[in-house]
Amino acid sequence: MKSILIAVQVLGAIACGAQAGTQRTRMEAEYYVAAYAEHYRVPVALARAIVERESNWHVCTISAKGAVGLMQLMPMTAERLGVNDRCNPSQNVSGGVRYLAWLMQLFHNDLRLVAAAYYVGEDKIIQRGLSYRNLDVLAYVSRIRTAYLREAGNESSEKPISGEKDVR
């Protein structure tokens, strides 16, 4: 009986430690998202919406297609952005936010095209623009829009970039 009680206490302590580690990791990730978004002039709400959709704030999530980390960077994209460790929150978010900033410049702050290009790559969106009607892409852009608007409502101090277009 005493050994069962000790085992329960140990498991409880491990669970509490894991939960504290998860909270610490989430706080660290949120810090990097806000800091890099501000630095690269990307709306914080957009960066947060992308992280939420891509990884649900899990630092080293790996997709079936090989995307890794908070912002789900593909190997070639990570290499292009100089990200050596896609599971490192700082490197991953820095690379992902720099990619968003580049896409915003490429697509003249049209966040619909930015979100679509983040999902399928800029080449497909450059070729087809708004006529790209893949249902998965449309659903992704819609989800990013919903999360963006929710996040933007929570970020009342965030100042929009001039000329920023709606994600609709």
Asked whether residue 66 is domain-assigned, the answer is yes
166: in domain: no
Asked if residue 168 is part of any domain, the answer here is no
pLDDT the model gives residue 22: 67
Q: What is the pLDDT of residue 167?
A: 52
- Domain membership flag for residue 108: yes
Range of the domain at 73: 2-154
| Residue 54 is among the residues annotated as catalytic for this protein | yes
Residue 67 inside a domain? The answer is yes
- The candidate with the shortest Cα–Cα distance to 93, out of 146, 153, 31, 150, is 31
pTM above 0.75, yes or no: yes
164, part of any domain: no
Give the distance, in angstroms, between the CA of residue 100 and the centroid of all CA atoms in the same chain. 10
Place of tokens 């001039």: 162
Phi, psi (degrees; rounded to nearest 5) at 23: -65, -40
- Cα–Cα distance, 78 to 11 (Å, whole number): 38
Selecting among 28, 30, 52, 54, the annotated active-site residue is 54
Q: What is the pLDDT of residue 85?
A: 97
**Alpha carbon of 105 to those of 98, 122, 163: distances in Å?**
11, 12, 11
At 16, which CATH number?
1.10.530.10
Task: Count up the domains in the chain and report the number.
Answer: 1
Residues of the chain under the 70 pLDDT cut: 1-22, 130-131, 155-168
Residue 167 included in any domain? no
* Cα–Cα distance for residue pair 94/38, rounded to 1 Å: 11
